[in-house]
């Protein structure tokens, strides 16, 4: 896989060396066991996979290249390039402005943008409607397009399903940029509906089997389906794709459930005519991070710190997995660690910040899981780790310990 040119301040001397060491040991990524960094009174467990993925590094490279190659020009980002406040703030510090927020609400008027300006499409992609608007303004939306190749893969698969007269079921969050983009492109050639979780998939299954009135479809999914959607006619053939940052296991479970619904309705012998296998659209990076996090669940640890943007979908799913077993704190970075007694963290289900007292146990040795989402720079994990180490006495020098590991 190709390497990208990204600013050095996103690279980590410490954790980057650990990652390189594991990659040398396990180039085919068969070993998902976590990496232990034993610093004496504190031990850190790192997931086998975490941090920037291919799509994120590609987006960062394109964005900073646009800055370097266009001095003096006005440069806009359609919305947050990725869901990480550190990266977005850094881009803003270079003079970039956001046109929309993450829900598609305008932060400025389209009339402020001219054909001489540069507009960068974020890693999540954008809708066909927005692309057409940019073209009408004289701006080429593909010139600085950072859309993740794995998101584009989902779009292509959705188009193929439409060509074969399938309805596309999109597992995602309806307000998320990526899901909005996928829905827009799917709707061009196929009926589509967005569902958020297994509970909605089960409801959809009952509607398909006529176990629920069709009125329930309009009540629950009416604002998340293509115009003139007919639940009686449009569920004859279906395929499931996802927002790439959702839990891959949940997407697969939803697809498996709807597959069984179609078996029940049409019979096993007719399944291929009514259900498309779409597991090839699941994002490898999301899978790797989630599989590595599942491996962490087998470890013994006292708590988990998950670092990333609070609006990051893939990061929130790592939190959901880890909090099944450990006290888990979802933080933006080291600033949320106020001191050894108090930490500020994000409660994702309630979408609010909370403060917890006595979060750092006094027991020694203390084992802390430290990981991050696909949009988080490794340097943030360095800073979180060093902040914690500054609160504990007689810890070993982490760089010396890393040196000892990789010799």
CATH of the domain at 224: 3.40.1010.20
1 lies in some domain: no
Q: Answer yes or no: are the C-beta atoms of 257 and 202 closer than 8 Å.
A: yes
Predicted pLDDT at 401: 93
Predicted pLDDT at 282: 67
With 80 as the cut, is the pLDDT of residue 81 above it? no
Q: The domain spanning residue 80 has which CATH number?
A: 3.40.50.11270
Judged by average pLDDT, the poorest of 45-54, 207-216, 272-281, 320-329 is: 272-281
With 90 as the cut, is the pLDDT of residue 387 above it? yes
| Same-domain check for residues 168 and 78 | no
DSSP string, 161-215: HHHTTPEEEEES-TTSHHHHHHHHHHHTTS-EEEE-SHHHHHHHHHHHTTSS-HH
* Band of residue 258 on the pLDDT scale cut at 50, 70, 90: very high
With 90 as the cut, is the pLDDT of residue 280 above it? no
Q: Which range marks the domain in which residue 209 is found?
A: 149-282
With 80 as the cut, is the pLDDT of residue 283 above it? no
Question: Each residue of 135-149: pLDDT tens digit?
Answer: 999 999 999 999 999
331 lies in some domain: yes
Q: How many independent structural domains does the chain possess?
A: 3
| Same-domain check for residues 210 and 227 | yes
| Same-domain check for residues 157 and 219 | yes
With 80 as the cut, is the pLDDT of residue 279 above it? no
User: Of 277 and 293, which is predicted with more confidence?
Assistant: 293
| Same-domain check for residues 248 and 204 | yes
With 80 as the cut, is the pLDDT of residue 73 above it? yes
Q: Are strands 42-46 and 97-98 parallel, antiparallel or unpaired?
A: unpaired
Reply yes or no on whether 61 is catalytic.
no
Q: Answer yes or no: are the C-beta atoms of 187 and 159 closer than 8 Å.
A: no
306 lies in some domain: yes
Domain boundary residue, one of 87, 113, 136: 136
The mean pLDDT value for 104-131 works out to 93
176 lies in some domain: yes
202 lies in some domain: yes
| Same-domain check for residues 188 and 277 | yes
User: How far apart, in whole angstroms, are the C-alpha atoms of residue 94 and residue 81?
Assistant: 14
Query: pLDDT above 70 covers what percent of the chain?
Result: 99
Catalytic residue among 131, 177, 178, 200: 178
142 lies in some domain: no
Predicted pLDDT at 140: 94
47 lies in some domain: yes
| Same-domain check for residues 99 and 202 | no
The mean pLDDT value for 303-329 works out to 94
Domain boundary residue, one of 228, 258, 282: 282
User: How far apart, in whole angstroms, are the C-alpha atoms of residue 222 and residue 292?
Assistant: 37
The mean pLDDT value for 316-324 works out to 94
| Same-domain check for residues 304 and 380 | yes
User: How far apart, in whole angstroms, are the C-alpha atoms of residue 9 and residue 169?
Assistant: 40
**153 token code pair:** 């893969």
With 70 as the cut, is the pLDDT of residue 306 above it? yes
Q: What kind and span of H or E run contains 155? A: helix 149-163
| Same-domain check for residues 207 and 255 | yes
| Same-domain check for residues 31 and 88 | no
| Same-domain check for residues 291 and 246 | no
| Same-domain check for residues 322 and 332 | yes
The mean pLDDT value for 59-88 works out to 90
Domain boundary residue, one of 136, 164, 187: 136
The mean pLDDT value for 151-158 works out to 95
110 lies in some domain: yes
| Same-domain check for residues 76 and 168 | no
Burial (0-12, 13-18, 19+ Cβ within 10 Å), 142? exposed
With 70 as the cut, is the pLDDT of residue 237 above it? yes
CB atoms within 10 A of CB 396: 15
Predicted pLDDT at 1: 59
Q: Which of 185, 191, 130 is nearest to 165 (CA)?
A: 191
């Amino acid at each position: 896989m190709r390497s990208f040119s990204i600013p050095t301040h996103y690279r980590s001397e410490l954790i980057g060396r650990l990652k390189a060491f594991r990659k040398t040991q396990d180039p085919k990524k068969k070993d998902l066991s976590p990496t232990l960094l034993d610093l004496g009174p504190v031990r850190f467990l790192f997931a086998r996979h975490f941090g920037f993925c291919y799509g994120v590094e590609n987006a960062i490279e394109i964005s900073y290249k646009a800055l370097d190659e266009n001095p003096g020009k006005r440069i806009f980002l359609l919305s947050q390039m990725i869901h990480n406040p550190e990266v977005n703030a850094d881009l803003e510090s270079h003079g970039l402005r956001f046109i929309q927020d993450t829900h598609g609400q305008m932060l400025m008027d389209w009339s402020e943008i001219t054909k001489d300006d540069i507009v960068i499409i974020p890693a999540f992609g954008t809708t066909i409607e927005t692309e057409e608007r940019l073209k009408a303004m004289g701006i080429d939306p593909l010139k600085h397009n950072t859309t993740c190749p794995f998101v584009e893969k989902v779009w292509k698969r959705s188009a193929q399903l439409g060509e074969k007269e399938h309805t596309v079921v999109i597992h995602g969050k309806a307000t998320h940029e990526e899901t909005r983009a996928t829905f827009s492109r799917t709707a061009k050639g196929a009926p589509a509906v967005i569902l958020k979780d297994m509970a909605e998939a089960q409801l959809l299954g009952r509607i398909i089997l006529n176990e629920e009135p069709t009125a329930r479809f309009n009540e629950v999914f009416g604002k998340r389906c293509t115009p003139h959607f007919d639940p009686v006619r449009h569920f004859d053939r279906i395929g499931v794709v996802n927002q790439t940052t959702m839990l891959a296991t949940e997407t697969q479970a939803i697809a498996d459930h709807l597959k069984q619904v179609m078996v029940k309705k049409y019979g096993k012998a007719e399944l291929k005519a009514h259900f498309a296998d779409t597991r090839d659209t699941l994002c490898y990076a999301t899978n790797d991070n989630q599989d590595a996090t599942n491996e962490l669940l087998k470890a013994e640890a006292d708590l988990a710190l998950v670092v990333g943007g609070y609006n990051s979908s893939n990061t929130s799913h790592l939190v959901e997995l880890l909090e099944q077993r450990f006290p888990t704190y979802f933080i933006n970075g080291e600033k949320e660690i106020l001191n050894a007694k108090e930490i500020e963290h994000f409660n994702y289900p309630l979408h609010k910040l909370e403060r917890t007292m006595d979060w750092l146990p006094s027991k020694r040795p203390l084992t802390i899981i430290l990981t991050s989402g696909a949009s988080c720079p490794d340097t943030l994990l360095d800073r979180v780790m060093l902040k914690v180490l500054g609160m504990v006495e007689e810890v070993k020098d982490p760089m010396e310990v890393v040196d000892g590991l990789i010799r």
